[in-house]
Chain A
Amino acid sequence: MFRIEAYVLFVMGSFLLLTALNIQVGWLFFIVFTLFAILGINFFYPLIILNNINIKRTVNDAYENEDVTISITLENFSKSKKHFIAVTDFFPSTITIETPKQVRMFFLEIPAKGSITRTYKEKAARRGQYTFQPLIIESSAPFGLMRCSKKYMLPSLMTIYPAPLSLISLNSSQPLTGYADSLFFRRSQGATDDFCGLRSYSPGDNLRFVHWRTSAKTQTLMIKEFRLPVSTTMTIFLDVSSNEHEGEGKDSSLELGIKIATSIIKDSLKNGREVQLIANDGFPPLKATSLWSLLSRLAVIPHLESYERLGSHGKKISYGKKVSCYKKVNPNGHSSIFDLIQSVVNQKMDLLHFVLILPINETRPVRSNVTLLLQLLSRLQERRIKVEIVAVLSESFVKPYHLCNPQEQDKNVLNTLTSRICWVTRNEQGVFLA
């Protein structure tokens, strides 16, 4: 790409050449050819400069709101020095709609068979996994009359982990070893040597475990129960695609939920517990003891903006409008968190305790989370599974009326099975327990 100065010089050189031919002045020919030589060198030199050069980019992962350090290394393989090289890196935008930020670096001289590294820092505004765009390396050597550029496709992936919240501390994150308190025991249909008691028959129980003698005595079907080892894995259910989520960007209830999950994960791992993270975003559950793999899993959860937004009447709405009062529909049609919990509970017999992080928005009239939650809790009550609920509230942090003032049949559920409901909300002052 030639700059305007190059065209000016070319026109001037052509004019001088014509003049030289007309008036036959030797020095004028020499000047003209010097001018053309300057232009020619400016044409070829950048191509030579950009040859035999390699570029590397190193990206350090970071937590949200922390600085990411990116290092750019230019390696010169040739036997001569390289001069006037500019590198433009495109820092991925951490705010969805903005274009990527350009970072320009200038290398005046790179020694022969040597390398130079430059670093820059950028604040990681939002969790996520970002791919860097191709890096552009340019040279306008030596006089800046022509600019030559090359694109380098460097596979750089940057993960911004969600930042943890220090407010959350749950009982469930404490370590569990072997058999614990009876409250935490699961009396299940699994047959072990450790018989622990009887209970009345529930629909779906296996008839193989009916204690016929007692049943005959009591005239009701009684089922044998056995002690089972309680799983020490910390299971976290995270509702990511619920219609209940609201807010925008970093302030959305989803982001708050993810931060809470981060805190719990960190806390659990600190206490030596394995963590299983299950979210209804279409990805399989992840069971790990590595903090970074779990945080990476949280980082890739799609932002709320990526969901299609539908108005209350099912009409699509465009970006830019205030969306807090609109539905956000999971585009992939993933199952709701309650269905997911049900299926996991059915499969995993040893799951007696888990944490559920979900948004609760009382203002939703139809099939709100509260209704569904109460239904779920009712079912889990029968299985004696303990749930710790972290309810992410809307900005108005109004506690749902149904949960705070439960009806008679719900009171029982809430009092017996749920050890705790942790209300978390966010307002202008920050995040706090409501």
Chain B
Amino acid sequence: MKTGTQIKLPEESKLLRILIFLCTMVAIVTLLREEEWPSIVTILVLPATCLGFIVSWIRRNKNNWWLKLIISFVMLIAMVDFFKNLFMTPYDPRIPIANLLLWLQVLHSFDLPAKKDLNYSLLVSFVLIVLAAVLSVDVSYLALFLIYIFLATITLLYNNYLDEIRKCALQQEKYGLQQEKGSLQQEKINLQQDFILLKLLVRYNLKICCIILVCSFILFISFPRVEGFRIRQLPFSMRFNFPFKKETRIVNPGYPMTQGNSMNWTRKGQLWGAFNPNSYFGFTPYLDLSYRGNLSDKIVMRVKTTMPNYYRGMAFDTYNGQGWGMSLEKVEWISSITPPIQVPLESTIMPGEEIIQTFYIKEELPNIIFAAYQPTQVYFPTDSIAQDRYFGLRSPFPLQDGIVYSVVSSVPKENIRLLRKFVSQDYPHEIKEEYLSLPPIPYRVKKLAIDLTKSYNTPLDKVNAVDVYLKNNYPYDLNIPPFPENRDSVDEFLFETRRGYCEHFASAMAVLLREAGIPARIVTGFTNGTYNPFTSYYEIKGTDAHAWVEVYFSGAGWIPFDPTPGYSAMPNAGNRQDRWIAGKTIEYFWDRFLGFFPQHLRIQFPSISFLTNKTLQLIIVILIVLTVIILWKQVLQKQKDKILKFLRNVFKKEKTFHEKIFNLTNAKAVSLFQILCKHLAALGYPRPEAATPYEYIETLPNHLPINEIKLLTQDYVAARFGAKELSSDSYEAGKRLITSLQVKITSKKTPHKIVQD
């Protein structure tokens, strides 16, 4: 039989129920929105939760044993479904967990008789919001999160209010006290009064919420993002309808001419049609250097990675004077029934670092699987993918909005010292044949290549020399005139226009290196994009499409180099994610602000990339903290008297330095003895380093107050080594001795007058 305390009293406050219901609904909507669940689930979950809250209100006074039984049964089904889903997606447990919690919330909403149950419901809604945060890939989550926080804090406020008035009422009941009518405790809680109260709480909560959000934002940007254990999450799409036919060629939806066209890239001119700002022309079988135009800055994909990197798409090995092509577009299919698909690696002796990337495709892209070089495992929503001979990966179909895939890559740690050891220019025959061949090149290009590299012995030094030359002498410019027909593009770039964009820089470097006898090829893909500190995703826009160079080092394999000004020479070096994100956050907001202006106007605004500097970030954090302190100055000033009073109390007692600092019982004796030694030293009798206190006083002359000194020394030794406390009399005697010695020191310093008779 239940005792009185065990019986849960039904919660009668409608407002509390309504507030918790709203919190729950917002949490569910946020999760469903982030999860992009099938519509049937969306249709079911929301009305089921509404129904649950209504049922639990109506039946709050009932036992509801049959309802509990049904809930338990359905919960078992949900658990079975959870384990089934978990088994199906072992690499990403977020969705099964979200599914389970969602059903837990729905089922729990049918049985909320007491306040405790309602609080549990609020807690589950918070967990749903957390799950939605984990699944969220963009900043739109913030809007729903703010609504949730506002509702949740109002609920907590109201909950606190209910607790307080109930506590008062309980005491009144216990002691039989009477309070005057009109006091809150006397008022019967009804919905109408609740709404009047709600208005007051809303006003109050607005202030509180603002403080909370400001505090959380300051903490958010001040807290270093130290790396944890790097738990592997490898999500990939499961619900995608794949086309039946596997594509083996490059298919770029932005350039429809690529579809069904033969690889006759030797044709000159703009082979793939007019420039498409929504699609990068570098993701075609032929990289035409005569294309001109600005790419759109729409986000094409988001990447979650353990380390930012360049995401390689394609490689080109053959230069024809106007563009780059692939000598052989043959691909090999790699299959695996269960994920992941293992990708064969290029042989290298360079130490590699494992990085995990997850790609969330937002715009239609070619059938290229972008990944940091070199990918080792691919979690892709198909059981087979293709690999070309340049170790580029192909999807069986063009990538579409909503596709998610993960790649584990082994990125070579580009240690310059190690690379410098690869001095051999004895390359394999096939490498030489393929990556050193060039069409007839103007003499001045050849001469330039020789001039730049002749004074260097190692391939790395030669590569660096070319890189430095290009970066120092050629500005980046997207708006250059078209090259004249039948002229070598690299020659035009190097000697005529003397400006260009990434493809021109990369082409120039590759050609110059090949001329210098170093194998090189052009690679296209995406740079690491902009870091979004809220989602921790790198947002890759169309403008982040990029071309760079891969240089072959005998023994080390292909190493990427980027000659475009403004980019690091070695894209993989020093790319580790920065722990301090204050600068990045400001940069992100600046970027969003610039997004409101047309592309040609954005150039007018200064760049704030310098903010990512660590020292500057630290200064930013300090400035933010100082601002907060200044804002609180008023409060601090008001508290000044109290603080001073507190400090006075602390220092009220005449404590010695040792007492204050170390809280020692023998502090007084130690302090006195130290002052004694100091004074004796001042009188010309310093304590020898190796002398014990007794040995020291034996050496003192008789004109000093030896007896008093001996007594103080005895007290010191007793206190210091015998843990005996110094008596107040001894302390006073010691102080007198110190004072007398002080007088002697002063008189010694004062020059005596010589009186002559």
- Are both chains from one complex? yes
Point out residues on A near B: beta carbons under 8 Å.
16, 18, 21-31, 33-34, 36-38, 40-41, 45, 48, 51-52, 67, 81, 83-84, 86, 91, 101-106, 108-109, 118-122, 140-145
Which residues of chain B are within 8 angstroms of A25 by Cβ–Cβ distance?
133-134, 535-536
Query: Contact string, B196-207, partner A, CB cutoff 8 A, digits 1/0?
Result: 010010001100
Assess whether B231 is in contact with A23, with CB atoms less than 8 Å apart: yes
CA gap between A108 and B161 in the complex, in Å: 8
B180: nearest chain-A partner, CB-CB? A119
CA gap between A120 and B180 in the complex, in Å: 6
Stretch from B219-227, B388-396, B673-681, B741-749 forming part of the interface with A: B219-227
CA gap between A348 and B537 in the complex, in Å: 102
Which residues B120-156 have CB closer than 8 A to chain A? 129-130, 133-134, 136, 141, 145, 149, 153, 156
Smallest beta-carbon distance B632→chain A, Å: 10
Assess whether B178 is in contact with A120, with CB atoms less than 8 Å apart: yes
Smallest beta-carbon distance B75→chain A, Å: 23
Assess whether B213 is in contact with A34, with CB atoms less than 8 Å apart: yes
- In the complex, whether B534 has a CB less than 8 A from a CB of chain A is yes
Assess whether B211 is in contact with A104, with CB atoms less than 8 Å apart: no
Assess whether A36 is in contact with B178, with CB atoms less than 8 Å apart: no
Partner of A118, one of B164, B172, B180: B180
- In the complex, whether B160 has a CB less than 8 A from a CB of chain A is yes
CA gap between A67 and B197 in the complex, in Å: 32
A122: nearest chain-B partner, CB-CB? B177
Smallest beta-carbon distance A111→chain B, Å: 12
Assess whether A34 is in contact with B216, with CB atoms less than 8 Å apart: yes
- In the complex, whether B533 has a CB less than 8 A from a CB of chain A is yes
- In the complex, whether B607 has a CB less than 8 A from a CB of chain A is no
A120-B227 contact given A26-B535, A30-B216, A106-B168, CB 8 Å threshold:
no
- In the complex, whether B724 has a CB less than 8 A from a CB of chain A is no
CA gap between A18 and B535 in the complex, in Å: 16
Known: A31-B145, A37-B216. 12 other contacts (CB 8 A): A27-B141, A29-B536, A30-B145, A33-B223, A51-B639, A83-B204, A101-B177, A105-B168, A105-B179, A105-B185, A140-B163, A144-B156
Assess whether B130 is in contact with A31, with CB atoms less than 8 Å apart: yes
17 contacts between A and B (CB under 8 A): A16-B130, A21-B225, A22-B230, A22-B231, A23-B231, A27-B133, A28-B134, A33-B217, A36-B219, A41-B215, A51-B639, A83-B204, A84-B160, A103-B177, A118-B180, A142-B157, A144-B163
Ranked nearest first, the 3 interchain pairs of A and B with the lowest CB-CB distance are A144-B160, A22-B228, A27-B133
Assess whether A118 is in contact with B179, with CB atoms less than 8 Å apart: yes
CA gap between A21 and B225 in the complex, in Å: 7
Assess whether B536 is in contact with A26, with CB atoms less than 8 Å apart: yes
Determine the main DSSP class of A at the interface with B: mixed
CA gap between A45 and B215 in the complex, in Å: 13
Which residues of chain A are within 8 angstroms of B208 by Cβ–Cβ distance?
41, 45, 142
- In the complex, whether B183 has a CB less than 8 A from a CB of chain A is yes
Point out residues on B near A: beta carbons under 8 Å.
129-130, 133-134, 136, 141, 145, 149, 153, 156-157, 159-161, 163-165, 167-168, 171-172, 175, 177-180, 183-185, 197, 200, 204-205, 208, 211-213, 215-217, 219-220, 223, 225-231, 233, 304, 306, 532-537, 577, 635, 638-639
Which residues of chain B are within 8 angstroms of A34 by Cβ–Cβ distance?
149, 212-213, 216
Partner of A31, one of B129, B184, B532, B535: B129
Which residues of chain A are within 8 angstroms of B160 by Cβ–Cβ distance?
84, 140-144
Assess whether B225 is in contact with A33, with CB atoms less than 8 Å apart: no
Which residues of chain A are within 8 angstroms of B136 by Cβ–Cβ distance?
27
Which residues of chain A are within 8 angstroms of B231 by Cβ–Cβ distance?
22-23
CA gap between A144 and B200 in the complex, in Å: 17
Assess whether A37 is in contact with B535, with CB atoms less than 8 Å apart: no
Which residues of chain A are within 8 angstroms of B534 by Cβ–Cβ distance?
26-27, 30
Partner of A120, one of B141, B153, B179, B225: B179
Which residues of chain A are within 8 angstroms of B215 by Cβ–Cβ distance?
33, 37, 40-41
